[in-house]
Amino acid sequence: MELAELEIFRAVAREQSITRAAKVLERVQSNVTTRVKQLEENLGVALFQRDSKRMILTPEGHRLLGYAEQMLALAEEARQSMRLSAPSGTLRVGSMESSAATLLPKPLGQFHAAWPDVELNLSTGTTGYLVDAVLGHRLDCAVVAHPGNGAPRDMDMAELGAGLEGVFLRTEELVLVLPGTHPKAHRPQDVTLRHLAAFSKGCTYRRCAEDWLEQGGEDIRRRLTVVEMPSYHAILAYVSAGSGAAIVPRSLLALYPNTAGLQTVAVRAAHTFLVKRAGFSTSAYEAFVRELRHV
């Protein structure tokens, strides 16, 4: 297998279309079709299920995609390691949505100004999703939250995923957010609402919220249900409407002026780290870490 074949295969898998993959790769469509067929013939398996509209990975295709991600990531890392004079190539960064909004804008802007030749790709998701993407070589590094209590130096990255290393970035204050009409609350048992608005499982802040609220006893554990939301806009709108509670970083509230009337209760601290695979290092990554440390 050649790296070019794997790059074409990955593009088709992502786009689920020969036509769209050809546009992304800036290749003619017939070339993409031919290279995919050659790869299938060489491996002796069908990598895609074809219909009139989409190219869907077969089980064998899914297995190959995991290897392709790793091989292409290692190839990019090797290319960058040969160019130690200046950052270059691609850096794939993941981030929690809250950090993307509050922590990253300034360092990302400074990084781009200093190293315009680096193609920096940013994607967002929950801590669980981001950790899986880093370990699966789909991301080079990610800004995530650690669920542990205590000092940042005592946090074990293995609790997030085996084979991770982390650079401490900052500590967030998590607050319970309640509608302004809710009776004054100080403890978990003071919460009378039946719904907690949160991201999907894998979100560290959701885990912190559930752990804190469950300290209120059996009644709140039995009564409270989680309503999964796609964004902080939706979460805070849900709370403002009086439909439920949420736990969010306090730094995020400054970005939403319409939340001034909401009630907030301090919950706990949560530490934010930039994580990567153990041993991973490129000049682009090291330059990005330097920008983050200047925040």
For residues 248 and 175, is the Cβ–Cβ distance under 8 A?
Answer: yes
* The domains spanning 3-71 and 81-163+278-293 adopt the same CATH topology: no
The predicted pLDDT at position 70 comes to: 85
* Average predicted confidence (pLDDT) for the chain: 90
For residues 14 and 61, is the Cβ–Cβ distance under 8 A?
Answer: no
The predicted pLDDT at position 146 comes to: 97
CATH fold for the domain made of 3-71: Arc Repressor Mutant, subunit A (1.10.10)
Give the mean pLDDT of 209-234: 89
pTM comes to: 0.76
Q: 85 pLDDT exceeds 70?
A: no
The predicted pLDDT at position 82 comes to: 67
Per-residue pLDDT reduced to its tens digit, 242-269: 999 999 999 999 888 778 789 999 999 9
Nearest by Cα to 241 from 178, 176, 198? 178
What is the spatial distance between Cα 161 and Cα 139, in angstroms, rounded to a whole number? 14
Give the mean pLDDT of 228-249: 94
What is the spatial distance between Cα 286 and Cα 76, in angstroms, rounded to a whole number? 15
What interhelical angle do 105-114 and 283-293 show, nearest 10? 130
Give the mean pLDDT of 20-37: 90
Q: Are strands 195-198 and 225-228 parallel, antiparallel or unpaired?
A: parallel
The predicted pLDDT at position 239 comes to: 95
CATH for the stretch 81-163+278-293: 3.40.190.10
Q: 81 pLDDT exceeds 80?
A: no
- Cβ within 8 Å of residue 59, ≥6 positions away: none
CATH for the stretch 172-272: 3.40.190.10
- Strands (E) across 132-253 are located at 141-146, 164-178, 195-198, 225-228, 246-249
pLDDT band, residue 182 (cuts 50/70/90): very high
Among 45-54, 80-89, 126-135, the range scoring the smallest mean pLDDT is 80-89
Q: Domain segments of the chain: what residues?
A: 3-71, 81-163+278-293, 172-272
Q: 73 pLDDT exceeds 90?
A: no
pLDDT band, residue 83 (cuts 50/70/90): low
Amino acid at residue number 290: R
